[in-house]
Structure 1
Amino acid sequence: MNVVVTGATGGVGSWIVERFASEGHEVLGIDLERPAGERENADFLAADLTEQGQAWEAILAHEPDAVIHFAAIPRVGLEPGAETFLTNVSSTYHVLEAAGQAGADVVWASSESIYGSVFADEPWLPDYFPIDEAHPRRPEDPYATSKLVGEDVAAMAARKHGISVTSVRPSWVTYPGGERTAQARETFDPETADPNGNFWSYVDVRDVVSMVEAALETDRGGHETYLAVAAENYLGRPTAETIEAVFGDLPAECDLEGEESPFSTAKARTELGWEPEHSWQEAEDEAIAGPAFLDD
């Protein structure tokens, strides 16, 4: 396939470029800056996707079969709120509209923050556990709200252009050999811990990449959303007990066993044949280098 990957020098985007290029696809990676190195089967282009002309020219010239959109300001607190919202919404609109004009299927990065608790000033409990794709979306911050609008744009593009658009809702993305989950676990005390809006969930970057592949391999039209989350929390503690200890309560409907993730991946398992393969127990000790083209 001819594949366009936006956010190509970012955390997840660079791993997507690496995977698709290694499988022989012709990849165009787009980001605000080109990477330091090169990669066989991959070309890189510096472009500002908030500019419609740049976005459309870059994408349409590649004649893509698929567009994978992971470019974004990735969370609150990095830029002023208005900049985060406007950047994410405008770039998503321009990229998905260009993909539609090209007749290319799309997979793009939404977020589990779309439910609202992750970046809320005071994290709150959902209506039920485990949270699934059907749970109401109630964002309170500009980043999550940009993802809510983005999912509406995704649905629009699917209807307008007759393409398949998949909104992936990853949890906190972790990387092989990373230390952040271990640090969080080692310092965690339920008696003093602050409420965590994603309820100590995570997903390995390799599982996000495999969901992108699974979505593109699934023969369907329209717009669908899928949670991308590891099978368990990263604390190594019973999930429901931990949430209750920190939040002081649980929703009336709570069906979590042991260390089970507070987010459900049943829909992705059923419709995409996808399931998470990586857990923090192994990943923290794995010495796997990231994409070499970032460092050359």
Structure 2
Amino acid sequence: MRTPGDYVVAAHNTNVVISWNVLRAAAELGINRIAQASSVNVIPLVWTERKDFEYFPLDEDHPCRPDEPYGLSKVICELQADTIVRRYPSMRVASLRLSWSLPRRADALRDDPERRKNDLWGYVQEDSAADAFLLAVTDESGRWSGHERFFITAPDTASEVPSLELWERYWKDVPIKEGNDLSGHKGFFDCSKAERLLGWVHSNPE
């Protein structure tokens, strides 16, 4: 459930219960390759009242401290994947932390960049997101096992404003991680782990 319309019950419970049911059923049926939809909102973004960024670009090592039920539900889904692979070591689970999934970059653009500051102007083209799911369940390179988390976002922002200007305007108190930069329209998410382990690269932005 992508949007927490019911802040108290539905968003959290639906995500958590369905994810566990799928993981457990797969384990009992001997299905050993699973890709589940997580979210960039495991790190407090859109629906939080308190932003908690330690550095940019965000990667899988960044702490997850959600204060709302949607992000919490996705953290729990990832913990459930940790649990299932401990019990069933032959299973391999990828939790794909998707950004806003849309057909085209143009669909994510807004005239006022402040409208999208809370999700860091992120997006992912739907065909590229689908590629990530396919790679997660078909890859036999042996580069990973067990449960892994992956950010799946476009390498650029959905904004015509340069990324450094966005950072200076809205997030200048958040440090840029050493060895990284926000030149041009580079995105605020680091997807290098997905490229390294899955061989996933976002299709050329429009």
Of 203, 217, 221 in structure 1, the residue corresponding to residue 138 of structure 2 is: 217
| Count of residue correspondences | 198
Whether the 8 Å contact between 2:121 and 2:159 is mirrored in structure 1 is yes
The reply on whether 1:117 has 2:45 as its aligned counterpart is yes
Whether the 8 Å contact between 2:35 and 2:93 is mirrored in structure 1 is yes
Of 230, 236, 251 in structure 1, the residue corresponding to residue 154 of structure 2 is: 230
> How far 1:179 sits from its partner (Å)?
5.8
For 1:253, the equivalent position in structure 2 comes to 176
CA RMSD of aligned residues (A): 1.8
One-letter amino acid of the counterpart of residue 277, structure 1: S
Higher CA-based Rg = 1
SS of 1:109's equivalent?
strand
For 1:36, the equivalent position in structure 2 comes to none
One-letter amino acid of the counterpart of residue 211, structure 1: A
Which structure has the higher relative contact order (CA within 8 Å, separation 6+)?
Answer: 2
For 2:201, the equivalent position in structure 1 comes to 275
Whether the 8 Å contact between 1:103 and 1:161 is mirrored in structure 2 is no
For 2:112, the equivalent position in structure 1 comes to 188
> How far 1:259 sits from its partner (Å)?
0.7
Query: Is there any run of 5+ residues in structure 2 with no aligned partner, and where?
Result: none
TM-score by length of 2: 0.89
> How far 1:241 sits from its partner (Å)?
1.7
For 1:244, the equivalent position in structure 2 comes to 168
**Residues 194 and 205 (structure 1), Cα distance of their counterparts in 2 relative to 1, 3 Å cut:** closer
The structure that is strand-richer by fraction is 1
Query: Is there any run of 5+ residues in structure 1 with no aligned partner, and where?
Result: 1-72, 282-296
C-alpha offsets along residues 174-214 of structure 1, whole Å, 9 cap, x if unaligned?
Answer: 114x86324x1xx225xxx2562221011001111000111
User: Superposed, which structure 2 residues align to 1:1-296 within 5 Å?
Assistant: 73-76=1-4, 78-104=5-31, 105-122=33-50, 124=51, 126-162=53-89, 163-176=91-104, 180-182=107-109, 184=110, 187-188=111-112, 193-194=114-115, 196-219=117-140, 220-247=144-171, 249-254=172-177, 255-279=181-205, 281=206
C-alpha offsets along residues 92-130 of structure 1, whole Å, 9 cap, x if unaligned?
Answer: 1111000111121110000000011221125x2511111
**Residues 253 and 179 (structure 1), Cα distance of their counterparts in 2 relative to 1, 3 Å cut:** closer
Structure 2: distance between partners of 1:245 and 1:195: 13
Question: Percent identity between the aligned chains?
Answer: 27
